[in-house]
Each structure stands twice: as C-alpha cells, then as structure tokens.
Chains A and B, each alone.
Chain A
Amino acid sequence: MALPDFAQQAGPTPAPSRYGEIYDRGYKHYEGPRLGRVQALWALVRYSMKRALGIKKGVGAKIIPILLYVAVVLPVIIDVGIRAFLPEASAFATYDDFFAFIFIIEGIFVATVAPEMLCGDRQENVLALYFSRAITRADYLLAKLVATAILTLTVSLIPAVILWLGRQLLEDGPLGAMRDNLDDLGRILAAGVLIASYLGAIGLLISSFTGRKSIAVAIIVLGFMIAEALAGSLLFALDLDNGIRRFVVFLSPSNTVGGFADELFHGGTGGPSDELGLSAWVYAGGMVAVVLICGAVMYWRYVPDE
C-alpha cells in the first residue's frame, strides 16, 4: 500500500534544519597558572582549617573553638597581668606547668577538630572527588595532619609564645632578656610542635575509622580517659623494679606530654618525671613513633583496595 504524499499536500518543505548544536560556552579551558600539587595540598590544608573552625558556617559551629581559645588565652593574659603588678606572683611557675595546664584544653580541641577533618568527607562520599584531582591519598592525609597540627599549635604554641614574650617585656631590659631566654623559646617551639602533632595524629587516627563525627568525638574522649586509667592500673600492678614499668607512661597521653615538657624544661633535675629516668629524647622518640604509627595506619585505611 502506497503511503499518501503528505509533502506534496503541504507544499514545498523547507530544508531540514540541523538536529543539534554544541554549546561550548560552559567548557572553557583553564588558562590561568597551574600551581601544581603543593598548591593543591596547601589549598586543602586551608580549607580543612576553615571547616574545622566553623568559618563560613553557622554560629553554632564557632562556639566551641571560640570557647577553647578563650580558655587557653585568658590564663596567659592573667599571668602576664599579675606579673606586671606583682613580679613574684605567677599562675604558671614554669613553661612545663603551662603545657600541663593546657593539655586538657588541647585534648578537647583535638577531639572537636579532628573529626571535622576526616568524617565529613567520608560521610558525604567525596573522597573520590579529591583523589580525581592532583592530590594523592598520602597528600590528602598529610594535608589533614598538617591542618590539625597547625590548628592545635594555635592552642598550644601561640599562647606559650605570648607568655614568653610577656615575661621578657616585663623585664627591665626586654631585648637583653629575650636574648638570654632564647633557649626557652626554642624549647617552647619544640614542645608545641611535637605535642600538637602527637595529639593531632591520635585524633585523626580515631576519626579515620568512622564517618560519624559525634562517634569520633566520643571515642577520642573515651580513648584518652581509658588510656589514662589503663596506664594508672598498670603502674599500680607492676613491681617497682620491673623494667617495663618505665615505658607504661607512653600509654598515657597526659603523662607522656607532661613528662616530655618536664624533662625539656627541667633537663631531668627536679621535675616530677625524674623517678622514671627517661630523658626528653626518649619521650620525643616515643611521641614521634606514635605519629608515624598513626600515619601508617591512616595510610593503610586510605589506600585503594585493588
């Protein structure tokens, strides 16, 4: 059966128009400078720090960081203020007292910041997007560790430097005092960096195992408390002449940090950690080992399955 010729009935048809058109207005090539992996890594560090501090988020996300900063800076200002009027009086007799004082605040700070670094990316399934860019998995972990360490440094190191600076400025000859006490500043820098990396690495390790921030916070807080209680129980249970007893201190983050600061500033004379007979180098070695172990476990967590 022949089909009716609709074309003839409707008159001459116009030439068939093109079926489609490619719009390339939204797909312009990037022509700016290519900054490379290092810049990508640094961008991730900055972004992670902003996110953890609640920048560009609601007021609720900023409250806890602000409270913790106030809690750590206020005693320093009070200490310097008291010394200005009463030179003999002081809230912190030595710098290791200050590091022991801020340990709990630093611990809470890490417990709130570390889950923000890792859990959100896991829960929102955006890791594949990160790894499709210039950064590798090791870069990602390094950026998160650096971001956590920098933020933790702002809690530990900056107030300690303010304390040091305030004390030198209260001397009769500030420049001379600064020159004389430069070794203290070096110790403060070493203690601040090492303690921040140590606590940050532990917090990140725990956070890398869960996508839920609140569970990570709970486990970090509980982990610190259980570690302290376990170390206390072991010290109680082991005989005084048992060689292992000295190293049980590494189970307890507060005793490790306290012992390190004590040995660093007292040099093994007159500090409360003298009875264990461990030098600052041994404490530092233990803390670096913890950072490396945490980094290795996190890398294992983030390496591809294939």
Chain B
Amino acid sequence: MIAVLWRPLPILALTVRQFLGGKAVRVVTALAFIPCLFAAIYLINPDESTPRQFLVDLFLEILIAPTLLPITVLILATAALGNEVEDRTLPYLTLKPIGRLRIVLEKLAGVLLVALPAVLAGLAVTALIAARADAPSSRIGDGPLGPVVWAMLAAAAVGTVLISSVFLAVSLVVPRALLAGIVYTFTWESLLGRFLPGLRVVSIRHYVQSVFVDLLDDPDVTIANATSLRASLITVAVACVLAVLLATWRLRRMNLE
C-alpha cells in the first residue's frame, strides 16, 4: 500500500514508512489498547454501573479524553517533523521540488493515517469488551450502547485531527515539543483548567468533550459550559487550518542548517 502512495504522495509514504519502521507505532498501538484493560476489569464486577455509564466515564473523565488520547497522538504528531529537525534530515525534504505546504499536509496525513486506525480500533475493542457485560442493555448498533460508541469514535477522531495539526506546528517552533505537549496536557488542561474555567476556549480537551456530549445528546451526560457541535467543529477546523499555515510559514522561514 505504501508503494502505491510513493509516486503521488512521497512525503506521506515516507512518513508512514518511518512510523511503521520505528518503535513509535508500537508504543502508540499499545497505548491505544490500554482502555481494553479497563473494560476487562469492568467485566469482573459489572453490577456497579451499566456498560453505557462505564464507557461515558472512561471517555469523558477517567482516562481517554483527559490523558490517553492527547499523549497517544502527541507521540506521533511531534515526531513527524520534530524527528526530522532533531536528526537534521529536514533539509533533505525541503530540497525536493515539493512545496512547503504540501510537505506539511502530507506529514499531517501520515500522522492521521497511523494514529486514527490505532485510536479508533482501541476504542472499538474496548466497547466490544464492555458490551459483553450485560447482553440486553449493551447492544452496539441500534442498541443503547450504539450512540455512545459512535459519539466516542467521532469525538476521538476530531481530537486526533486537532492534536495532530496543532502539535505538528508546535514541533517546528519548540525544540522539545513532546515535553511541551505533556506540560500542556497535565498543567494547562488538567491543573489550570480546573481553577480557571475560562481556559476552556483554548483547551483541546474541552472541544473533544463537547463534541462527545453534543453527539450523544443525553441530558444526563453533560460537561460544564459545553460548546455546541457546530461551534466546536468550526473552531476545530479553524485551529487546524491556522496550525497548518503556521507550520508552513515556519518551514519557509526556519534555519535548516
């Protein structure tokens, strides 16, 4: 498949090949399937809550949106261009007769091509495991668990695209972008976000949670000051476009020596 991409999209093919050949993809896949462990633990004693409530809590509060999704995607997003800068191989990319915007877009597509299947597969398997708890109340598809699973997959996909775009650009500006991303996730979003609610305007987690809550459309599942679905998607799209433009500008201006 990568060979097919090589001629029309060489940077994309190169990025995917770099990820598949390194350890990053193994780490990301392992991280993406960690929620399955929680689902397996939930099966030990499923009487405490319904599979639907378990999945909502796991996604919204306990693990996925606050911690796991950002870190999992950060590893790939900051490595795509960050490793080229660190290994001093970026000049070889820019020497090719390929526009800077196209380099950034293909790098972003490479990140998404590897991150999205891993993240979504991890969530899908988690939902399947949780659904084994109680057959009548946990059917996926048109059952009560269906909307939660679809909302979870859609919100995770939106989050993956946003985190990838933003931190692809950050990796061209900050030397240790992954550390910056960790500090952002744990300090800005977790710690400061708790005390300063106004920070939600610039919080990736807030938009991921808002998309999830809006798509689920359940009055029992809410977050504080949730943004509407349309506003969230517009914000995410604008942020992605700005991030791509910033990365392109930075790639044109930065010293590649």
Identify B78's interface contact among A214, A225, A229, CB under 8 A: A214
Interface string of B57-75 (1 = CB under 8 A from A): 0000011000110010011
Taken together as a complex, chains A and B put the C-alpha atoms of A226 and B37 apart, in Å, by 10
Given contacts A214-B179, A221-B186, contact A229 B62 (CB under 8 A): yes
**Chain A CB within 8 A of B31 CB:** yes
Residue pair B41, A214 in contact (C-beta under 8 Å): no
* A217 and B182 contacting across the interface, CB-CB below 8 Å: yes
Contacts A215-B178, A219-B27 given: A237-B67 contact, CB under 8 Å? Answer: no
Judged by a CB distance under 8 angstroms, whether B23 is at the interface is yes
Residues of A within 8 A of B179 (CB): 214, 217
- Judged by a CB distance under 8 angstroms, whether B176 is at the interface is yes
Decide yes or no whether A236 CB sits under 8 A from chain B: yes
User: Contact size class for B?
Assistant: 20 to 34
Residue of B41, B75, B177 near A234 (CB, 8 A) is: B41
Given the known A-B contacts A217-B182, A218-B178, A218-B182, are A233 and B23 also in contact in the complex, defined by CB atoms under 8 Å? no
CB distance from B181 to the nearest CB of A (A): 8
Tell me the total A-B contact number using a CB cutoff of 8 A: 53
CA separation between A215 and B26, bound complex, in Å? 12
Task: Please give me the residue from chain B that is nearest to A221 by CB atom.
Answer: B182
> Closest approach, in angstroms, between the C-beta of A118 and any C-beta of chain B?
14
Q: What CA separation (Å) do A234 and B78 show in the bound complex?
A: 33
A222: CB under 8 A from chain B? Answer: yes
> B74, A225: Cβ atoms under 8 Å?
no
Across the interface, do B23 and A237 meet the contact criterion of CB distance under 8 Å? no
Q: Could you tell me if B38 and A222 are in contact, using CB atoms closer than 8 angstroms?
A: no
Which of A215, A222, A225, A237 is in CB contact (< 8 Å) with B41? A237
Could you tell me if A230 and B75 are in contact, using CB atoms closer than 8 angstroms? no
CB of A287, distance to nearest CB on chain B (Å): 23
Contact mask for chain A residues 53-77; partner B; CB cutoff 8 A; 1 contact, 0 none = 0000000000000000000000000
Inter-chain contact B68/A222, CB cutoff 8 Å: yes
Contact in complex: B75, A237 (CB < 8 Å):
no
If A226-B68, A234-B41 are given as contacts, then 8 extra A-B residue pairs at C-beta distance below 8 Å, sorted by A number, are A210-B27, A214-B179, A215-B27, A217-B178, A219-B27, A221-B182, A229-B63, A230-B37
Instruction: Give me 23 A-to-B residue pairs in the complex whose CB atoms sit less than 8 angstroms apart, sorted by A's number.
Output: A210-B23, A210-B27, A214-B177, A214-B178, A217-B178, A217-B179, A217-B182, A218-B75, A218-B182, A222-B31, A222-B67, A226-B68, A229-B38, A229-B63, A230-B37, A230-B41, A233-B41, A233-B42, A234-B41, A236-B45, A237-B41, A237-B48, A239-B45
